[in-house]
Amino acid sequence: MPATFVTEAELRAALGIGALYSSAVVEECCQAAENIVKAKLWYNKYSVSAHESTTTKATIYTPVQHDFIVGQTITVENCGAKYNGSKTVTARTDFSVSYTVNNATAELKNDLVPWGTVYGTTHIDYETLPEVNEASLMIAVDIWQARQASNAGGISPDFQPSPYRMGNTLMARVRGLLADHLAPGGQVG
């Protein structure tokens, strides 16, 4: 799927490379930049650490308090076939969500490794925000330049040259653009 936070045409124009490189190579930088930015944005998303089921009801567990409500439609991913998909919440606690399943076999509560994911409705389209697009373009340019001239590093916070552009300062350079949209959980580390 082509990147939408920064397009191939935008990156080509910013770099002034025209048709010199193949679409696949340029698009790879665009997609990497989008993935980096998306990982830091605030979506209505939680990890799923465990699940259980009866023949008619599935319950998934989150390691942190969620804000899903009864009647809300959620999307469950990477939790197993009978748990995955678009589901309507029928019951909730601070750390669990239950919904109806059909003809399921009963399963005791067990941990998920790796964790699954549950999404609720997000009422913002990040693709339309200029600051998100600009941050993505800046990161895509940095990725491209690091690939082309790996010794053309960046500058560290203490103004010393760094041989590696993809270090911890990569997000620091665009954090101001994304500040209003950063996920609190994405700030750890």
Ordered domains of the chain (ranges, CATH): 8-41+124-187 (no CATH), 45-119 (2.40.30)
Report the SS3 class of residue 40.
helix
Whether pLDDT at 169 is above 90 = no
106 DSSP 8-state letter: P
**Cα–Cα distance for residue pair 95/3, rounded to 1 Å:** 34
Whether pLDDT at 155 is above 90 = no
> What's the burial of 119, exposed, middle or buried (CB within 10 Å: 0-12/13-18/19+)?
middle
CA angle 84, 88, 93 (to 5 degrees): 95
pLDDT at residue 189, rounded to an integer: 43
Round the CA-based radius of gyration of the chain to a whole number and report it.
21
pLDDT tens for each residue of 82-124: 999 999 999 999 999 999 998 778 999 999 999 999 999 888 8
pLDDT tens for each residue of 19-43: 889 999 999 999 999 999 998 898 8
pLDDT at residue 185, rounded to an integer: 65
For 62-80, letters b (16+ CB in 10 Å) and e give beeebebeeeeebebeebe
Q: Alpha carbon 177 to chain centroid distance?
A: 17
pLDDT at residue 14, rounded to an integer: 95
pLDDT tens for each residue of 119-152: 998 888 999 999 999 999 999 998 888 887 655 5
pLDDT at residue 121, rounded to an integer: 87
Considering only residues 9 and 103, tell me which one the structure prediction assigns the higher pLDDT. 9
Residue 65 identity (one-letter amino acid): Q
Q: Give, in order, the Cα–Cα distances in Å from 43 to each of 24, 73, 181.
A: 28, 15, 9
Section 76-83 average pLDDT: 94
